[in-house]
Amino acid sequence: MLQKPLLFARELISRSLKAGGCAVDATSGNGHDTVFLAEVVGRTGSVLAFDIQPQAIAATRQRLAASGLLERVSVIEDSHAKMAAYSQTTFDAAMFNLGYLPQADHAIVTKPESTVAALDFATKQLNKGGIITILVYTGHEGGREEWEKVREFSLALPQQQFTVLEYRLINQKNNPPFLLAISRL
């Protein structure tokens, strides 16, 4: 059976990220992916989680605390484009979930410039065998433009160093999300 893009993203992450590893949640949102990453890295691993919205930061911290995982994660209220200011550590996996925060102001969305800047840094810091997953939403204002910039960035990655996968369900209505995955060879 075919998986929804988010579930496939998690499967891909689970193949590259192991206990003791380091991961990044570039867009923590309500904290679901952050909790997933914190569970995978285990007690000896670490996660950096970014979001620009105080509401998202609070939700992420609350979800982590409820799961007993808060000590594994540095939750940062800042743009994913500023990752380099918080860590120069290499990592095994990164998750991006583009668009807007569900149940929040839909006018606050990820932007092409910040997302591409974050991806540029992330690809440089990604360990061999590591993976970056990007859930792309194009149904909101600015979503298609962001996708075009992310796709342009991804197409320019050298094939000797990276493999890029696009995974989407094509018979779904209402602009369903799709997955872009970047793996470092």
Amino acid at 89: T
pLDDT of residue 108: 85
What does the block give as tokens for 173?
Answer: 């209505």
Alpha-carbon distance 10 to 4, whole Å?
Answer: 10
pLDDT of residue 86: 96
Residue 162, strand partner residues: 184
pLDDT at 18 over 90: yes
- 107 confidence band (pLDDT: 50, 70, 90): confident
Q: Which CATH class is domain 5-184?
A: alpha beta
pLDDT of residue 106: 80
Kindly list the distances between the CA atom of residue 125 and the CA atoms of 133, 151, 170, in Å, as whole numbers in the listed order.
14, 19, 32
| Residues constituting the chain | 185
CB 64 within 8 A of CB 38: yes
Within 10 angstroms of residue 44's Cβ, the number of other Cβ atoms is: 9
* φ and ψ at residue 27, rounded to 5 degrees: -145, 85
Q: Residues 108-131: pLDDT tens digits? A: 889 999 999 999 999 999 999 999
What does the block give as tokens for 30?
Answer: 């309500």
Burial category of 23 from C-beta neighbours within 10 Å (exposed 0-12, middle 13-18, buried 19 and up): buried
Sketch the domain layout of the chain as residue ranges.
Answer: 5-184
Kindly list the distances between the CA atom of residue 44 and the CA atoms of 19, 36, 39, 144, 155, in Å, as whole numbers in the listed order.
7, 15, 11, 39, 35
pLDDT of residue 116: 98
- 79 confidence band (pLDDT: 50, 70, 90): very high
Start-end of H helices in the chain: 5-16, 32-41, 54-66, 112-125, 143-155
Report pTM: 0.96
